[in-house]
Amino acid sequence: MDKYRLANLRSWNARVPVHAASRFYDLKGFLRGRNALLPIERREVGRVKGKRLLHLQCHFGMDTLSWARLGARVTGADFSDKAIARARDLAAGTGLKADFVLSDVMRLPRALPAKGKFDIVFASYGVLCWIADMRRWMRVASHFLRPGGFLYLAESHPFTNILAMDGRTQELPYFNEGPAYFPPEYTYTDGPRKAMPPTYEWCHPMSDILGAVKAAGLRLDFLHEFPYCAWERFKGMKKGRDGFYRLPASRKSLPLLFSLKAFKK
């Protein structure tokens, strides 16, 4: 593993217990039956009953198991041993059936011998910034899909990813200029004010993401952009009744999330 992924792995392992105890992830609610998926992906992925679904970079498995609650036959994969151990415990504790695979996403085709076996490959919110090679990531997603199956991705928007928390200052490049170093910082959830190990992250402009979809032999069905976010992306955003955060009316709109669906030919 290269120094970037090793650093990121340390950071993700340190975040797992903090996230699992946070109000942000609301694990207690999940254990009482709450579905952790957002209305965006539930609506856009559609019915999953009986479908084989692979969740890339599944963290500690709450979303994966939420798809299982909706009837999907699920497999989750992540490179964090702490996350996968927690995901397996969660599956055992809830009695939901799921396979969890410990693997770097780029090596997953070797760790999980299931080429062309999935109806749906799913990934969401905070996955692409850990990826150096966008085309290779898309090829991994495509590798696991059966012809006619689809990739569904919901993610923070690359255009606004470049901005700092004030929503005005540019913090990152729009184009991929190699790994950006993030010094030790608190994680994005509530919880103990303890700095997490540093990370390296990559920026991917929309043209790289869509170019990778095409290069991986996938046919784009839709690309949606949203002027709201599932978390307080910029200071001063207000949470609406629907649970999404919006900029104050005095600000002009910005794209905060996007989603895409692409079919395997």
Query: Closer to ligand SAM at the Cβ: 127 or 141?
Result: 127
Burial 99-121 (b: 16+ CB within 10 A, else e): bbbeebbbebeeebebeeebbbb
Q: Which amino acid is at 158?
A: P
By CB under 6 A, name the one of 30, 41, 63, 212 that touches ligand SAM: 63
Q: Which of 130, 200, 202, 258 binds ligand SAM (CB under 6 A)?
A: 130
Among 4, 5, 44, 189, binds ligand SAM (CB under 6 A): 5
DSSP three-state, residue 161: helix
CB 182 within 8 A of CB 172: no
Q: How far apart are CA 32 and CA 11, in angstroms?
A: 29
Got the DSSP string for 229-265? BSS--STT-EE-TTS-EE--TTSPP---EEEEEEEE-
Minimum distance of ligand SAM from residue 177's CB (angstroms): 19
State the sign of the Cα–Cα–Cα–Cα dihedral 48, 53, 55, 60. positive
Among 66, 75, 124, 161, binds ligand SAM (CB under 6 A): 124
Size of the site for ligand SAM (CB under 6 A): 18
When asked if residue 202 is in the footprint of ligand SAM (CB under 6 A), the reply is no
Cβ-closest position to ligand SAM: 126
The rounded distance, in Å, linking the Cα atoms of 40 and 134 is: 23
What is the nearest approach in angstroms of ligand SAM to the Cβ of residue 30? 11
Helix (H, G, I), strand (E, B) or coil at 83: helix
249 close to 237: Cβ distance less than 8 angstroms: no
Asked if 8 interacts with ligand SAM (CB under 6 A), we say: yes
Residue among 78 and 208 whose Cβ is closer to ligand SAM: 78
Scan residues 71-100 and list those touching ligand SAM (CB under 6 A).
78-80, 83
Q: Which of 122, 125, 244, 258 binds ligand SAM (CB under 6 A)?
A: 125
Q: Is 41 in the site for ligand SAM (CB under 6 A)?
A: no
Identify the residue among 44, 89, 99, 104 touching ligand SAM (CB under 6 A).
104
Residues in contact with ligand SAM by CB under 6 A are 5, 8, 12, 57, 59, 62-63, 78-80, 83, 104-105, 124-127, 130
